[in-house]
């Protein structure tokens, strides 16, 4: 909870109006973070699907290259042409996979950061609610 509005002074020193203002600001921050988390989560699932497809293509081309090399003695080297093409596609798919993984990782870390911030705001809101309830009971 570093840097939150309630860390400037203890809650007991704040007036009721100040608590309400801080609570409203925290509610707005929490709503904004919730929107960020929802948007990032949608992007993550799309990137995960793209990453799965790229990984599948990478695996298929690796198997084709290995099969072409293994079958070279039987086909008198003709299958090496298949291997050369598959190795070229393997490099292309590897670059694509690396790019998609970097994009996926960036979005995943942004989503995780937004979730951590959201949890910190929720805990600050819980402290405010507890203080307001304590004051209404007194």
Tokens representing residue 75 in the block = 């086909």
Q: Where are the domains of the chain?
A: 14-137
Q: Which long-range contacts (CB under 8 A, 24 or more apart) does 12-19 make?
A: 12/131, 16/132, 16/135, 19/128, 19/131, 19/132
Dist. CA 29–CA 97, nearest whole Å: 35
Angstrom distances, CA of residue 18 to CA of 15, 121, 132, 133, 134? 5, 17, 11, 15, 15
- The model's pLDDT over 50-64, given as tens digits with 9 standing for 90+, comes to 999 999 999 999 998
- Other CB atoms within 10 Å distance of the CB of residue 56: 12
**Residue 8: its pLDDT value, please?**
55
**Residue 5: its pLDDT value, please?**
53
Report residue 73: phi and psi, to 5°. Answer: -65, -35
Q: Which residues contact 114 (CB under 8 A, 6 or more apart)?
A: 33, 36, 37, 40
- The model's pLDDT over 76-122, given as tens digits with 9 standing for 90+, comes to 888 888 888 888 999 999 999 999 999 999 989 989 999 999 999 99
3-state secondary structure of 115: helix
């Amino acid at each position: 909870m570093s840097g939150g509005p309630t860390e400037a002074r203890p809650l007991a020193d704040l007036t009721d109006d100040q608590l309400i203002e801080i609570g409203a600001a925290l509610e707005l921050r929490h709503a904004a973070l919730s929107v960020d988390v929802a948007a990032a989560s949608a992007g993550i699932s799309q990137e995960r699907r793209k990453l799965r497809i790229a990984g599948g293509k990478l695996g298929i081309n690796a198997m084709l290259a290995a099969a072409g090399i293994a079958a070279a003695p039987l086909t008198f080297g003709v299958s090496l042409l298949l291997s050369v093409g598959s190795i070229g596609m393997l490099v292309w798919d590897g670059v694509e996979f690396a790019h998609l993984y970097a994009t996926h990782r960036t979005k995943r870390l942004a989503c995780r950061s937004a979730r951590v911030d959201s949890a910190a705001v929720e805990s600050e809101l819980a402290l405010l609610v507890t203080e307001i309830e304590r004051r209404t009971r007194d």
